Amino acid sequence: MIDIESLTSTGAWRLEDGGAGIAFLVFDLPGERVNKLSEAVLEDLERVLTALEQDGNLRALIVESGKPESGTFIAGADIHEILAVTDPEVASRKAALGQAVLHRFSTLRAVTIAAIHGNSLGGGTELALACDMRVASLFAKTKIGLPEVQLGILPGFGGTQRLPRWIGISRALPVILGGQPLDVRKAYKLGVVDRVVYPGLLRKACVALATEALEKGGKKFVPRRRNRTPFFLRVLEKLPPGRAYIRSRARKDIDHRAGRHYPAPYRALDAVMTGTSLGLEEGLRYEAKLVGELVASGVSKNLIALFLSSEEARRGRRAPGEAGVAASCAREGATIGLLGAGVMGGGLAALLARKGFRVRMKDIALEALTVGYRKIHELYRGRVDRRRMSRSELANSMAMISGTTTYEGFRNSPLVIEAVVESLDVKKQVLREIEPALAEHAVFASNTSALSITELQSAATRPERVVGLHFFNPVDRMPLVEVIRGEATSDEAVAVAEDFARKLGKVPIRCADGPGFLVNRVLAPYLNEAVRLFEEGYSPTAIDAAIREFGMPMGPFELLDEVGLDVGAKVAIRLHEAFGERARPPALLERLRTNPAMLGKKSGRGFYVHRGRERSPNPEMLRLGGAGGSEFKKDDPELWLRRLVYPMVNEAARALDEGIVDLPSDVDLAMVLGTGFAPFRGGPLRYADSVGVQAIAAGLASLREPRLLPCELVTRLAASGDGFYGNDARCAPEPAGDHRVESART
């Protein structure tokens, strides 16, 4: 057998004998947790395949991962290499290299089979698609997908060309344009994989399939169970009118889901529809060209930077000089204490049980517990209706939750989460009551949106075990968790809280204790200024439409109605108490918080009248504005941008300068995940770098309002010509699209 390891500079590839002319090509990249297709790895693979082509004894080649414990087959291309490319031609050349190397699997004389165990994403899936056949393990972590559009690019190693040719255009488009990975059964049903077996039988199944193929035509062999595209779809995809219909439907879906700010799905659609009308060779060239355009774009750079920040937060980042701490967090099956069965408490209980934790939920009365149970069951029923949960899973998850009106049953809880009313006095009282019922090592986590963790610690006998764990509502959908360190919080308590958040599938961002922490503090001036614009006579519906055009998922008035005007006012008042006049809430917001009929969505009326999923402007609210219900002022999107987005940048810069978080990327990731700040713009600080901090400073100064004057950090960066991320082109990309907010009338 050929010694291929001597051909590789990375040591990523080795060959193992499977007998009878069958060999295993094992991908095991040294020093890495997962296998990645970097340029050096691809160049090594090309040399390996060249050598294997010359081996006359090789009849079948099975590609497998040498890292089964990682739960990943191949993670795809090296994201850092993609981030570093700024020249479209260079990006196209790199894509063409990947295409050419992986194409060798299809032209090799030997039968080629991909043995997929664990996640197969991006380039990993494209390598598997280049093989003659694919066998996947029936394993929870085995997912097969092409997620590139979520990074602002498209599958560039042949994915847009090979997948439609294997399973048909209509079946391939949702996989490519949506970016969501397929589980094993779905992949098998679509025909992406040819066999599904238990993990322990994966090698044997691949050898059996190779043997069958060699007996029945070699590379021309088609597995009997491969699920072919239905006849009517094959006809539709071949006829020009049918292809035009498929393209039109897909484009409308992209318009609805992504919108014009995200070019990658549109380019991926072009790659599929145009490329499949050409031969494979021409289609691959077209794919590589489109990859080059996208990789060099600011949208791609911003989305990739957010992805890398998110992955770093999920893995855990140690602060400079911080010693490592072993987090003795709860393992699956442990009992987590939960104090409070309200909306947040019920949502947390539902999430915890679904993630495999037992929940001991406490409230002051049985009636409150009943409301909590009803909320939990409602959430689970929604998942069952959407086919994300079976009825048996619903029953099992409900059985994981027990309710009580006392503090019995908390002694063995390694973590207790407090989700009671947002009152410091109440939270202190709850902490005093439960501490004697907890083990000494237990961590007490307060789910507060703005109250001081340091002040809360003053009520504790073990203040070092008290930490903030701020979940965002709705807790089952919002990925962000702020982990707040009080003055006395130990490193271990922070590590436990962060580790627990990751076990729930959340992204933890570590914050220092401070008014509003990070997200609410940065969001407050945005909401305050929106209400002031309304008081000055501007249309709330026009402002909302303009901000959605900027890239936000909803406008400021829609957001206020969603969170509740009383909640927004409470946070604003706390920040005013902490920061003085620059954070004073508008008079209208203070008045509205005491009107139970005008609290937003939960009362049915706020800036809008809410009827189910429908909403319309609220005439009663409009009469309270500066226009008094008559004609609004002429739309001024440029002013709205300076009044709404620039103050967010300014407050984010203050928080960063004060050490609330460590890095600009923490700010941006938190604002994207916690508020929906336009991901394609990268977050408020990347956005500031893209338009220039000098422009932000000048825009704020032009408003001539003391509360909006540029902060010290913004002024300093503007004077130096630097940005929050420095002058690295990868960190401060060119503006992504038109940064002006287009006029949007009611």
> Which residues are 121's β-sheet partners?
145
**pLDDT of 328:** 53
Domain CATH for 11:
3.90.226.10
Average pLDDT over residues 562-574: 91
**Measured distance CA(584)–CA(524) in Å, rounded:** 10
Strand partners, 113: 62, 133
- Residue 588 contacts residue 530 (beta carbons within 8 Å): no
CB within 8 Å of 48: residues ≥ 6 apart: 4, 7, 8, 13, 15, 25
pLDDT at 730: 37
Q: Which residues are catalytic?
A: 470
More confident of the two residues 239 and 162? 162
* Domain coverage including residue 477: 335-513
The number of beta carbons lying within 10 Å of the beta carbon of residue 645 is 26
Contact 194, 226 (CB under 8 A): yes
Share of the chain above pLDDT 70, in %: 95
Q: Give the model's confidence band at 203: pLDDT under 50 very low, under 70 low, under 90 confident, else very high.
A: very high
What would the pLDDT profile of 534-553 be if each residue is shown by its tens digit? 999 999 999 999 999 999 99
Q: Are 287 and 664 in contact (CB under 8 A)?
A: no
DSSP 739: -
Domain boundary pick from 296, 327, 343: 296
Query: What band does 226 get if pLDDT is binned at 50, 70 and 90?
Result: low
Report DSSP state, residue 680. G
**CB-CB contact of 512 with 485 (8 Å):** yes
- Among residues 456, 521, 520, the alpha carbon closest in space to that of 489 is found at 456
User: Tens of pLDDT along 306-362?
Assistant: 999 999 998 876 554 444 444 556 677 899 999 999 989 999 999 999 999 999 999
Q: Tell me the per-residue pLDDT of 450-509, one tens digit each, with 9 for 90 and over.
A: 899 999 999 999 999 999 999 998 899 999 999 999 999 999 999 999 999 999 999 999
Contact status, residue 458 vs residue 430, Cβ threshold 8 Å: no
- With respect to residue 307, please indicate whether it lies within any of the assigned structural domains: no
Q: Average pLDDT of 29-39?
A: 94
Question: Residue 70 corresponds to which amino acid?
Answer: S
pLDDT(283) > 80: yes
> What's the Cα-to-Cα distance from 693 to each of 305, 658, 722, 724, rounded to whole Å?
19, 18, 8, 8
Tokens 């969170």 appear where? Answer: 563
Mean pLDDT of 640-648: 97
Question: Within a domain: residue 738?
Answer: no
Per-residue model confidence as pLDDT tens digits over 416-455: 999 999 899 999 999 999 999 999 999 999 999 889 999 9
What single letter denotes the amino acid at residue 745? R
Asked if residue 324 is part of any domain, the answer here is no
pLDDT digits (tens, 9 = 90+) for 212-222: 999 999 999 98
Rounded average pLDDT over 358-368: 95
If one counts every other C-beta atom within 10 angstroms of the C-beta of residue 311, the result is 11
Residue 326 per-residue DSSP state: -
Q: What is the pLDDT of residue 473?
A: 87
Number of domains in the chain: 3
Q: Which of 235, 269, 296 is the last residue of a domain?
A: 296
The sheet with strand 111-116 has its strands ordered as 13-19, 22-27, 60-65, 111-116, 133-137, 195-197
Q: Mean of the pLDDT values across residues 133-144?
A: 95
pLDDT grade, residue 244 (50/70/90)?
very high
Q: Are residues 33 and 137 in the same domain?
A: yes
Q: Are 606 and 561 in contact (CB under 8 A)?
A: yes
Determine the residue type at 334.
Answer: A
Q: What is the pLDDT of residue 738?
A: 36
Task: Indicate the pTM of the whole model.
Answer: 0.90
Residue 401, in any domain of the structure: yes
| Euclidean distance between CA atoms 563 and 601, whole angstroms | 8
Tell me what pLDDT residue 562 has. Answer: 93
Give the residue from 488, 513, 538 where a domain finishes: 513
Average pLDDT over residues 137-143: 93
Selection from 667, 661, 669, 650 nearest residue 715 by Cα: 650
pLDDT of 736 > 60? The answer is no
Same domain, 376 and 340: yes
What is the C-alpha to C-alpha distance for residues 534 and 512, in angstroms, rounded to an integer? Answer: 34
What is the torsional sign of CA 290, 291, 296, 297?
A: positive
Q: What is the mean pLDDT of residues 639-646?
A: 96
Q: Is 701 exposed, middle or buried (0-12, 13-18, 19+ CB in 10 A)?
A: middle
- Please indicate, yes or no, whether residues 496 and 539 belong to a single structural domain of this protein: no
Instruction: Provide the β-strand partners of residue 135.
Output: 115, 195
Are 433 and 489 members of one domain?
Answer: yes
682 pLDDT above the threshold of 50: yes
Q: Do the domain assignments include residue 714?
A: yes
Q: Considering the domain boundaries, does residue 317 fall inside one?
A: no
Structure tokens given for 263: 């070019």
Three-state DSSP string of 582-646: HHCCCHHHHHHCCCCCCCEHHHCECCEEEECCEEEECHHHHCCCCCCCCCCCCCCHHHHHHHHHH
Distance CA 373, CA 54 (A): 67
Q: Is the pLDDT of residue 2 over 80?
A: no
**How many CB atoms lie under 10 A from the CB of residue 745?**
11
Q: Where are the alpha helices (DSSP H) in 478-555?
A: 491-503, 519-535, 540-550
Q: Please state, rounded to an integer, the average pLDDT across all residues of the chain.
A: 92
508 and 526 housed in the same domain: no
**277: three-class secondary structure by DSSP:** coil
Whether 323 maps to a domain, the answer reads: no
Domain assignment present for residue 319? The answer is no
Nearest C-alpha neighbor of 640 from the set 549, 735, 746, 529: 529
Q: Which residues contact 415 (CB under 8 A, 6 or more apart)?
A: 329, 330, 336, 337, 442, 443, 445, 496, 497, 500
CATH label of the domain that carries residue 444: 3.40.50.720
According to DSSP, residue 735 is labeled: P
Same domain membership, residue 578 and residue 697: yes
Q: Which of 33, 180, 155, 158 lies closest to 105 in space, CA to CA? A: 158
Is 734's pLDDT higher than 60? no
Burial 576-608 (b: 16+ CB within 10 A, else e): beebeebbebbebbeebbeeeebbbbbbebbbb
Secondary element (H or E) of residue 16: strand 13-19
Does 711 lie in the same domain as 574? yes
- Tell whether 429 and 339 lie within a shared domain: yes
Predicted confidence at residue 580, as pLDDT, reads 93
Same domain, 444 and 547: no
Question: What's 91's DSSP letter?
Answer: H
CA angle 276, 174, 739 (to 5 degrees): 95
Higher per-residue confidence, 61 vs 342: 61
Task: Based on the fold, state whether residues 157 and 216 are members of the same structural domain.
Answer: yes
User: What's phi and psi for 120, nearest 5 deg?
Assistant: -125, 105
The pLDDT-based confidence of 593 (bands split at 50, 70, 90) is confident
pLDDT digits (tens, 9 = 90+) for 71-127: 899 999 999 999 999 999 999 999 999 999 999 999 999 999 999 999 999 999 999
Categorize the per-residue pLDDT at 687 as very low, low, confident or very high, splitting at 50, 70 and 90.
very high
Would you state the pLDDT for residue 630? 79
| Lookup: tokens for 440 | 């000494």
**Strand, helix or coil for residue 474:** coil
Cα 71 to Cα 139: distance, rounded to the nearest angstrom? 9
Angle at 706 between CA 599 and CA 696, to 5 degrees: 90
Beta carbons of 161 and 126 less than 8 angstroms apart: no
Which CB contacts under 8 angstroms, 24+ apart, belong to 718-723? 718/693, 718/694, 721/694, 722/693, 723/688, 723/689, 723/692, 723/693
pLDDT of amino acid 387: 87
Rounded to whole angstroms, the Cα distance separating 503 from 520 reads: 24
In this structure, the answer to whether residues 481 and 546 fall within a common structural domain is no
Asked whether residue 41 falls in the same domain as residue 60, the answer is yes
Helix H or strand E segment including 573 = helix 565-579
Q: Which of 74, 77, 45 is nearest to 61 (CA)?
A: 45
- Residue 238: the pLDDT is 87
Q: Give the CATH number, domain containing residue 709.
A: 1.10.1040.50
